[in-house]
């Protein structure tokens, strides 16, 4: 998938009609800010799909989150921290409700979250009086803005050092366990990739990194640790592989399912906060529209199996970048938004087909 992303970037950089507009620091900065909502929810959706679930309510949940934040900020003059806490509490309860419906009442995830898909946007319209709500207070709008250049520089260098530290610790750990380590060529490639990533980030964020991008990075890192280094992640993989076998092995299937849906609800709230801050308001009829399709597409493109039991957070983030690049490229080419929807559906279908083919190959 990383190769696919780089090929897309190369193609748009070389194509005459997109070259000038695409190859700018501002465009790449905007692209990463635009996919931040997809990446944030994608972390939760990855865990949901990993256990053979689905959440179709995230777009409507974002609309409801935006209305709750706007109503508190505009109508009641509540500070941004309290408004954000209220939003996260509401959407976490929604996630908890979905988890209970799926695990305790055995309602299929598609049906349980489809109800939310229809009702949460309706609730957002009722609470807002079916009108747009704007502007937000300055302390809230900061969440959709940019950080100072020197802060962005420090963050990029810290992330590069973190990647380098992880690579060193991985090699040391594998040496202690007597496992094969990277060859000199692969180690050189990995170090070059980290250095190239740092330089690239410094170039595109020279005017400041968008706050939504930082939030997406932090959520992505947390999701990667949760999936690969925590008991919850190991339990999720076991449930996705065979839930009944996991239950007989002592895995608390119901509790894990509830926690994963709760996490997805909280991340939906965070994405709603980001979207509302970036837009300096919310239009409940349009906020988060089709976002569930975008998130599922990014997750599946990134390599998470719709059959459960296989997922990667890095793949989800790359999938979000691929989706964002395609959308960005089609906008630069002047492709009609209706056709963009068609292409998005085709991409999802193609990714699902590849997943099905790879699953059959693993079984055989």
CA 167 – CA 165 distance, rounded (Å):
5
Question: Is pLDDT at 352 greater than 60 in this prediction?
Answer: yes
Q: What tens digit of pLDDT does each residue of 115-129 get?
A: 999 899 999 999 999
pLDDT higher than threshold 60 for residue 363? no
Q: CA 28, CA 204: separation in Å to the nearest integer?
A: 6
CATH number of the CATH domain containing 298: 1.10.3470
**What's the structural domain count of the chain?**
1
* 114 pLDDT more than 60: yes
pLDDT given at position 142: 95
Residue pair 181/167 in contact (Cβ under 8 Å)? The answer is: no
Cα–Cα dist 107/105, whole Å: 6
Give me the helices (H) in the chain, please.
2-14, 16-22, 25-34, 36-50, 58-70, 80-103, 109-128, 138-141, 149-176, 184-204, 211-229, 231-241, 243-248, 253-279, 291-301, 313-332, 337-363
Q: Is the pLDDT of residue 141 over 80?
A: yes
- How confident is residue 338, by pLDDT bands cut at 50, 70 and 90? confident
Q: In this predicted structure, what is the pLDDT of residue 160?
A: 94
Q: At 46, is the pLDDT very low, low, confident or very high (cuts 50, 70, 90)? A: very high
> What is the predicted pLDDT for the residue at 362?
59
Residue 318 resides in a domain = yes
Answer with the residue of higher pLDDT: 362 or 18.
18
Name, in order, each residue with C-beta under 8 angstroms of 9's C-beta and a sequence gap of 6 or more: 22, 325
pLDDT at 318: 92
How many C-beta neighbours within 10 Å does residue 187 have?
13
pLDDT surpassing 70 at residue 140:
yes
Tokens 């960005």: give the residue. Answer: 328
**In the predicted model, what is the mean pLDDT of residues 111-140?**
94
Burial (CB < 10 A; 0-12, 13-18, 19+), residue 114, is middle
Residue 229 forms part of a structural domain: yes
Residue 37 has pLDDT above 60, yes or no: yes
Instruction: Give the tens place of pLDDT for each residue, 280-323.
Output: 999 999 999 989 989 998 998 888 988 888 899 999 999 999 98
Q: Is the pLDDT of residue 133 over 90?
A: yes
Q: Are 96 and 255 in contact (CB under 8 A)?
A: no
> Position of tokens 């509790």?
255
pLDDT at 174 over 90: no
The pLDDT assigned to 179 comes to: 83
**Distance of alpha carbon 197 from alpha carbon 286, whole angstroms:** 35
Whether residue 301 lies inside any domain: the answer is yes
Enclosing domain of residue 318: 2-14+21-145+210-356
Task: Transcribe 272-305 into DSSP letters.
Answer: HHHHHHHHTSB-TTTTTTTHHHHHHHHHHHTT--
User: What digits encode the pLDDT tens for the residues 243-267?
Assistant: 999 999 999 999 999 999 999 999 9
- Count Cβ atoms within 10 A of the Cβ of residue 81 and give its class: 0-12 exposed, 13-18 middle, 19 or more buried: exposed
The answer to whether position 322 is within a domain reads yes
Residue 159 domain-assigned (yes or no):
no
Tell me, yes or no, if the pTM score tops 0.75.
Answer: yes
Residue 271 has pLDDT above 80, yes or no: yes
For 185-237, what is each residue's pLDDT tens digit? 888 888 898 999 999 999 999 889 999 999 999 999 999 999 999 999 999 99
């Amino acid at each position: 998938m990383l190769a696919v992303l780089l090929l897309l970037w190369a193609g748009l950089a070389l194509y005459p009609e997109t070259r000038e507009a695409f190859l700018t620091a501002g465009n790449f900065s905007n692209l990463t800010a635009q996919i931040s909502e997809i990446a944030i929810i994608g972390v939760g959706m990855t865990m949901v799909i990993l256990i053979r679930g689905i959440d179709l309510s995230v777009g409507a949940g974002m609309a409801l989150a935006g209305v709750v934040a706007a109503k508190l900020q505009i109508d009641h003059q509540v500070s941004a921290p309290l408004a954000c806490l209220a939003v996260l509490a509401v959407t976490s309860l929604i996630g908890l409700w979905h988890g209970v419906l799926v695990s305790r009442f055995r309602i299929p995830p598609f049906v349980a979250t489809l109800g939310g898909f229809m009702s949460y946007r309706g609730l957002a319209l009722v609470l807002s009086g079916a009108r747009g709500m704007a502007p937000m207070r300055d302390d809230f709008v900061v969440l959709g803005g940019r950080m100072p250049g020197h802060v962005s520089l420090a963050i990029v260098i810290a992330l590069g050092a973190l990647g380098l530290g992880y690579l060193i610790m991985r090699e040391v750990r594998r040496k202690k366990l007597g496992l094969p380590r990277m060859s000199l060529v692969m180690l050189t490639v990995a170090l070059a990739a980290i250095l190239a990533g740092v330089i690239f980030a410094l170039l595109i964020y020279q005017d400041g990194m968008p706050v939504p991008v930082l939030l997406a990075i932090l959520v992505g890192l947390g999701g990667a640790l949760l999936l690969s280094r925590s008991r919850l992640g190991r339990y999720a993989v076991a449930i996705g592989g065979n839930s009944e076998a996991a239950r007989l092995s002592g895995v608390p299937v119901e509790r894990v399912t509830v926690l994963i849906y709760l996490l997805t609800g909280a991340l939906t709230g965070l994405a709603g906060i980001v979207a509302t801050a970036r837009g300096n308001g919310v239009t409940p009829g349009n906020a988060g529209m089709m976002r569930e399709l975008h998130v599922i597409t990014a997750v599946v493109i990134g390599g998470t199996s719709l059959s459960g039991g296989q997922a990667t957070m890095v793949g989800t983030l790359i999938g979000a970048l691929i989706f964002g690049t395609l959308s960005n490229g089609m906008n630069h080419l002047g492709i009609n938004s209706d056709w963009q929807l068609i292409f998005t559906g085709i991409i999802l279908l193609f990714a699902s087909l590849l997943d099905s083919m790879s699953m059959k190959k693993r079984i055989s």
